[in-house]
Amino acid sequence: MAQTITTVVDYDPFAELPISRHIIKMFTARVGIQPDSKVLDVGAGTGASALEILEYLNTDDGCEGHVTLLEPEAKLLDVARSRLPMDVVDCTQGFAQDLAKMNFAEDSFDYAIWSNGIHYVEDADVVDEVLRSIRRATKTKFAAWSTFMSDAYVGRTARFAGLWVLTAYRNLGLDPKTQRVKSESLQTRGAADWRAAFERAGFHDVVTHLETFELGPEAYQAIARFGDYVENAMPPIPDRPDITLGIRSQALVDAAEQVYDRLGVKTLPRNWLYMEAAP
């Protein structure tokens, strides 16, 4: 077990991994963004998806077009501002749920994308409302992708997921049989549910596509540094307030590599769901 106890981070460690950049690059390429477009980047984080969008707006004459980042976390927007060309980018602090009251004019954006974040909206009615707001503000295409959905596990990843949390409990000297607190799943909706939600919101030509990527343990180690993920996967243990969020996070970080070793694998497959639709 590692010696140092990490604190849960307030940046996005997953976004910086080569596999994450590869996934964003691949899906952004599918969107077909044209150079002089206006693009809305929902749940923009530290700007990893915006950087990729900008690749499609750059021409020999410079950048034509504009990206609007929408992100609730001020600290993440600060990172995004420090790495993006602010003459062609603007940052708005807010949740996707705020889009309705932000009152963007109809067809304000040619494209809207939501990279690795649509799963954060849990309530079905709220999903419908958010999708309707995005549809209203978008002219040509909306695309979203996420791995936190019910079709995510492929092959031995289901086995990994079970062993991962179990191993983290054991790393903390806890008895999973008696002290384990039920995990909340972020993976409640699947491709069919998302398609139905898009259609309810009035989108048409809805396309859903599952793409499998091979993830090394570093991907799960990065995911285990997200506070909200840890709160769901390994909720607080009653009577053990000394086992803080940071300690649970570190236990999951350590357990990821241990379980890969135990399964004798270097990578494990996991699906991402890519969805696109016309407003």
Ligand X SMILES: C[S@@+](CC[C@H](N)C(=O)[O-])C[C@H]1O[C@@H](n2cnc3c(N)ncnc32)[C@H](O)[C@@H]1O
Among 178, 179, 133, CA closest to 279: 133
Q: Which of 54, 80, 121, 186 binds ligand X (CB under 6 A)?
A: 121
Assess 153 for contact with ligand X (CB under 6 A): no
Binding ligand X (rule: CB under 6 A), the pick from 13, 17, 39, 45 is 45
Residue among 148 and 260 whose Cβ is closer to ligand X: 148
Q: Which is nearer to ligand X, 71 or 110 (CB)?
A: 71
- Figure out which of the listed residues 25, 72, 128, 232 binds ligand X, where binding follows CB under 6 A: 72
Q: Quote the DSSP letter at residue 243.
A: S
The 2-31 site mask, x for binding ligand X (CB under 6 A), equals ----------x--x--------x-------
Pattern 87-106, binding to ligand X, x per CB under 6 A? --------xxx---------
Residue 266 in contact with residue 216, Cβ under 8 Å?
yes
Binding of ligand X by 273 (CB under 6 A):
no
H-type alpha helices, the chain:
18-31, 48-57, 74-83, 99-102, 124-137, 157-171, 176-179, 191-200, 217-223, 227-233, 245-263
- By residue count, the chain amounts to 279
For tokens 């077990």, what's the residue? 1
Cα(76)–Cα(159) distance, integer angstroms: 33
Q: Which token pair is 21? A: 């950049």
Q: Which segment (84-92, 110-118, 166-174, 265-273) binds ligand X by CB under 6 A?
A: 110-118
42 contributes a contact to ligand X by CB under 6 A: yes
Is there binding between residue 217 and ligand X (CB under 6 A)? no
Q: Does 250 bind ligand X (CB under 6 A)?
A: no
CA-CA distance, 137 to 132, in Å (whole number)? 9
SS3 of 118, please?
Answer: helix
Total residues contacting ligand X by CB under 6 A comes to 21
- Please tell me whether residue 48 binds ligand X under the rule CB under 6 A: yes
Q: Which is nearer to ligand X, 71 or 163 (CB)?
A: 71
CB 71 within 8 A of CB 44: yes
Q: Using the rule CB under 6 A, which residue among 13, 43, 65, 279 binds ligand X?
A: 43
Q: How far from each other are the two terminal CA atoms of the chain, in whole angstroms?
A: 50
Position of minimal CB gap to ligand X: 45
Q: Binding to ligand X by residue 227, rule CB under 6 A?
A: no
Which one of the spans 3-11, 109-117, 135-143, 165-173 is the region binding ligand X (CB under 6 A)?
109-117
Among 28, 37, 68, 116, which residue sits at the site for ligand X (rule: CB under 6 A)?
116
3-state class (DSSP) for residue 142: strand
3-class state of residue 24 by DSSP: helix
Q: Check residue 48 and give left, alpha or beta (phi > 0: left; psi -120 to 50: alpha).
A: alpha
Q: Which DSSP state fits 153?
A: B
Q: What residues from 159 to 198 belong to the interface with ligand X (CB under 6 A)? A: none
Applying CB under 6 A, the residues found at the interface with ligand X are 12, 15, 24, 42-45, 48-49, 71-73, 76, 95-97, 115-117, 120-121
